[in-house]
């Protein structure tokens, strides 16, 4: 046996072996006494491979350099057995020849053809044409597979694996995979090398052209328009704050000392351009007419009285401070940060433009939905490639003044990941006590944001971090009543959609009754976005109807006439023909149907889309005593069910529920639900089930329940009452401590609802459950 430390020999290979070691010399000498046969075994790290190659000693002599060597020809594979004794100093072993296996003849031929094409493509890249001829002459799949012993891209372990594999098909499959990987790597490396060469050539060409351009300008006596002297004059002429001017001149000095070929030159120029674009000394004058301000707000938006009143107050305070010379105290201006929180479609985003128009300020919208990088707010450090200032600085630059209205849209949807928390970066921006010295990471100079009016919009409070929420003055927009929706549709939505459809006001008319029916039975939302889409759908169908009439603008144009006045006749959409345009109503009032049996109660909830009606169902069945809760409820709602059952059992009002198996379900099971405000609804549903008395179909309720039966206050009362009004409920039960929230309720809703403030569950059950006599009469 002859160990090989740096080679793996496959059958069919003929290789020279240097005899510079005593081990190799002894093996060759012994082989000459034993039919010139050797067992070549790979030994890369001092450990023998379990397989080797039986080779025949062809010739012993010297290399051209004079070193002694032997030439061997590998013939077959062999597995190493136990060591045996033999003559001389060589190592003798028992070897078992491994028979070749061809598991699938046709498969082997196909794989051999594919492998041959891959090998030839590699050889063509190396211009090894003689080797290509040799490979093309090989037809035996096994012989072709064993030529991989010469492949330089295969490592030692791969060649040992080929040596140990008796199946020709498996050998070829492995070789094809390894060869394809090598070709893919080679292609990537070639492309990278090509790109590097092209980049170097382009850089060298640009360098030579710039040198020639500089020499030509020097001969003509022209100055570089982007040179340091030009930046120095621009900085000196600009109206910059003292600290900003000092920092800018320092960068100009650095630019003068930096070579034009240095990449830092471009960074400095970009920073100076950014500094010079910011309107450091530009401020617009606010409107002094408070009455006109309110008129503009009223013309653009119906309702939203809280927002409008707060903006008028802001303007009044600012005017008084200016009259008394208090515009700046301790570096702090009179900026304000208002957060508009409410369901989608109530006009939070669009009110920003109205505010800017009413105040006479510039308006910029900054979309924060999905922003996860803290640098989006504070900017990137200048050391990063592609660094730029944050969105706040870019908004100021875009507005062209230092006191615009900046709308931070969807602030509740700001995310956080390994790049930082943008909400934390907003803490300084939205703090009126700190934002007069806001420092962007890219600018690294103080920026005064105290005169900026920030408006933030959000759908819910829950996802806004508490420190950030604490810095904003929250104004809640809880949604519109049906009357308000009709007014908005008549004054704003319908004219806008008529214009977009290319219609005149006398061509299509939608009555107020039809608008109310759309809001009530086709949309069922807190805002007016779906209402706007429904109106657009009606007008589209009306446009088709108008164009289909005889004598329409299209027919006139076909006759060659100028049909500037498009259509003839007026289409009126009323409640009688509304279904021709929108189909059947999508939302019907179902409280009476759902609560017709005991065990079902109507609750009120708040979601990201506003208030909503929530039905809670309870039923009993035979089986082991216990409770099943379904509907994808959170832990708090599951605990509310347990509290409700415990309260009823402690008061002796649970009937035989303790011996029954109870199932409590909240429909819309695909929607996650959580919160304590369903406590009274859970208790009422279980009490209805235990007593057999159905819950009144006209009653909705909300409130948290304690084990002692106390009804605790909850949030979102106004949104819940608006949802009850939309659902057609007439009686609503709320916690007594939520009575102050009724002051914000519109008069039309207050008059349509009978509101019952309660402090104890016994009051809830007395109001909500049908009278026992009534149940008996209904059954009869």
Q: Where are the domains of the chain?
A: 2-97, 228-277, 290-476, 482-582, 591-779
Distance CA 704, CA 710 (A): 8
Handedness of CA 534, 535, 537, 541 (dihedral sign): positive
User: Between residues 249 and 607, which one has the greater pLDDT?
Assistant: 249
Q: Which helix (H) or strand (E) holds 18?
A: strand 14-18
> Which residues of 229-346 form beta strands (DSSP E)?
336-341
Q: What is the pLDDT of residue 217?
A: 64
Q: Residues forming the annotated binding site for ATP?
A: 342-349
* Lowest mean pLDDT segment, chosen from 395-399, 414-418, 732-736: 414-418
Fold of 482-582: Helicase, Ruva Protein; domain 3 (1.10.8)
Is pTM beyond 0.75? Reply is: no
Q: What is the CATH number of domain 2-97?
A: 2.30.130.40
Return mean pLDDT, the chain: 84
Q: What is the pLDDT of residues 485-527, one digit of tens each?
A: 888 888 888 999 999 988 888 889 999 999 988 988 888 788 8
Q: Which helix (H) or strand (E) holds 428?
A: helix 422-429
Please name the residues in contact with 31: beta carbons below 8 A apart, sequence gap of 6 or more. 2, 37, 38, 57, 90
- Classify residue 287 by its DSSP letter: P
| pLDDT band at 663; cut points 50, 70, 90 | very high
Q: What is the pLDDT of residue 228?
A: 55
Rounded mean pLDDT, 390-419: 88
Rounded mean pLDDT, 568-585: 85
Of 112-126, 295-309, 310-324, the range with the highest mean pLDDT is 112-126
Residue 352 in tokens? 């920003």
pLDDT at 10 over 90: yes
Residue 198 in tokens? 């092209």
CATH of 591-779, one of 3.40.50.150, 3.40.50.300, 3.50.50.60, 3.30.230.10: 3.30.230.10
Q: Which helix (H) or strand (E) holds 620?
A: strand 610-621
Active site residue 720: yes
Active site residue 677: yes
| pLDDT band at 122; cut points 50, 70, 90 | confident
Fold of 290-476: Rossmann fold (3.40.50)
**Residue count of the chain:** 780
Q: Which helix (H) or strand (E) holds 97?
A: strand 92-97
Q: What is the pLDDT of residue 776?
A: 44
Q: Residues forming the annotated binding site?
A: 342-349
Q: What is the pLDDT of residue 52?
A: 94
| pLDDT band at 778; cut points 50, 70, 90 | very low
CB 411 within 8 A of CB 456: yes
Percent of the chain whose pLDDT exceeds 70: 93
Q: What is the pLDDT of residue 596?
A: 80
Cβ neighbours of 91 (radius 10 Å): 18
* Lowest mean pLDDT segment, chosen from 294-298, 334-338, 736-740: 334-338
Please name the residues in contact with 329: beta carbons below 8 A apart, sequence gap of 6 or more. none
Q: What is the pLDDT of residue 472?
A: 85
Q: What is the pLDDT of residue 72?
A: 93
Q: What is the pLDDT of residues 26-74, one digit of tens each?
A: 888 888 887 888 999 998 877 888 999 999 999 998 888 888 899 999 9
User: 677, 688, 691, 697: which is the annotated catalytic residue?
Assistant: 677
């Amino acid at each position: 046996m002859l160990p090989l430390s740096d080679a793996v020999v496959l059958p069919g290979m003929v290789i020279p072996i240097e005899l510079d070691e005593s081990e190799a010399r002894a093996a060759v000498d012994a082989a000459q006494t034993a039919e010139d046969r050797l067992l070549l075994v790979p030994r890369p790290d001092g450990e023998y491979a379990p397989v080797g190659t039986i080779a025949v000693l062809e010739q012993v002599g010297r290399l051209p350099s004079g070193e002694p060597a032997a030439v061997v020809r590998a013939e077959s594979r062999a597995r190493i057995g136990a060591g045996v004794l033999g003559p001389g100093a060589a190592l003798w072993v028992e070897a078992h020849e491994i028979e070749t296996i061809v598991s699938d003849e046709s498969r082997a031929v196909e794989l051999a053809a594919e492998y041959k094409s891959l090998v030839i493509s590699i050889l063509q890249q190396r211009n090894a044409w003689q080797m290509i001829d040799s490979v093309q002459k090989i037809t035996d799949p096994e012989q072709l597979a064993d030529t991989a012993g010469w492949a330089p891209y295969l490592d030692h372990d791969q060649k040992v694996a080929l040596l140990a594999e008796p199946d020709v098909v498996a050998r070829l499959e492995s070789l094809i995979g390894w060869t394809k990987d090598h070709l893919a790597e080679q292609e990537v490396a070639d492309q990278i090398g090509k790109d590097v060469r092209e980049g170097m050539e382009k850089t060298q060409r640009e360098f030579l052209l710039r040198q020639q351009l500089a020499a030509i300008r020097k001969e003509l006596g022209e100055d570089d328009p982007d040179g340091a002297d030009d930046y120095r004059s621009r900085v000196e002429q600009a109206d910059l704050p003292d600290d900003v001017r000092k920092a800018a001149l320092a960068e100009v000095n650095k630019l003068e000392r930096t070579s034009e070929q240095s990449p830092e030159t471009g960074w400095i120029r970009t920073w100076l351009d950014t500094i010079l674009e910011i309107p450091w000394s530009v401020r617009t004058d606010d409107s002094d007419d408070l009455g006109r301000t309110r008129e503009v707000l009223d013309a653009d938006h119906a309702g939203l009285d809280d927002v409008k009143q707060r903006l008028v107050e802001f303007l009044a305070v600012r005017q008084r401070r200016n009259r008394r010379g208090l515009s700046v105290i301790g570096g702090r201006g009179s900026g304000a940060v208002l957060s508009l929180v409410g369901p989608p479609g109530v006009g939070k985003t669009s009110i920003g433009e109205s505010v800017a128009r009413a105040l006479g300020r510039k308006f910029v919208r900054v979309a924060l939905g999905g922003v996860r990088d803290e640098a989006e707010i504070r900017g990137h450090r200048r050391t990063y490639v592609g660094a730029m200032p944050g969105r706040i600085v870019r908004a100021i630059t875009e507005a062209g003044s230092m006191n615009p209205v900046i709308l931070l849209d969807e602030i509740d949807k700001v995310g956080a990941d390994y790049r930082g928390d943008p909400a934390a970066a907003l803490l300084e921006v939205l703090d009126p006590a700190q934002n007069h010295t806001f420092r962007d990471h890219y600018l690294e100079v103080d920026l005064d944001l105290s005169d900026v009016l920030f408006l933030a919009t959000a759908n819910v409070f829950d996802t806004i971090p508490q420190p950030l929420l604490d810095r904003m003055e929250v104004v809640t927009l809880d949604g519109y009543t049906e009357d308000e929706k009709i007014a908005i549709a008549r004054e704003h939505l319908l004219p806008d959609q008529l214009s977009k459809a290319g219609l005149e006001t006398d061509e299509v008319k939608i009555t107020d009754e039809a608008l109310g029916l759309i809001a009530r039975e086709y949309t069922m939302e807190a805002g007016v976005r779906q209402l706007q889409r429904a109106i657009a759908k009606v007008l589209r169908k009306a446009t088709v109807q108008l164009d289909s009439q005889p004598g329409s603008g299209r027919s006139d144009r076909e006759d060659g006439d100028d049909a500037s006045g498009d259509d003839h006749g007026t289409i009126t959409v009323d409640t009688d023909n509304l279904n021709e345009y929108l189909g059947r109503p999508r939302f019907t009032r179902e409280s009476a149907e759902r609560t017709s049996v005991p065990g079902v109660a109507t609750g009120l909830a708040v979601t990201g889309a506003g208030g909503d009606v929530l039905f809670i169902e309870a039923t009993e069945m035979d089986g082991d005593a216990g409770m099943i809760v379904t509907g994808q409820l959170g832990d708090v709602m599951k605990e509310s069910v347990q509290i409700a059952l415990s309260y009823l059992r402690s008061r002796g009002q649970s009937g035989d529920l303790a011996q029954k198996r109870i199932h409590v379900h909240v429909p819309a099971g695909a929607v996650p639900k959580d919160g304590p405000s369903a406590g009274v609804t859970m208790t009422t549903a279980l009490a209805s089930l235990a007593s057999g008395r159905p819950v009144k179909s006209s009653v909705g309720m909300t409130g948290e329940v304690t084990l002692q039966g106390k009804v605790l206050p909850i949030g979102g009362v106004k949104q819940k009452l608006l949802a009850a009004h939309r659902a057609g409920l007439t009686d609503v039960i709320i916690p007594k401590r939520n009575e102050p929230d009724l002051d914000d309720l519109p008069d039309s809703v207050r008059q349509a609802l009978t509101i019952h403030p309660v402090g104890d569950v016994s009051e809830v059950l007395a109001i909500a459950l049908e009278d026992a006599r009534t149940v008996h009469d209904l059954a009869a």
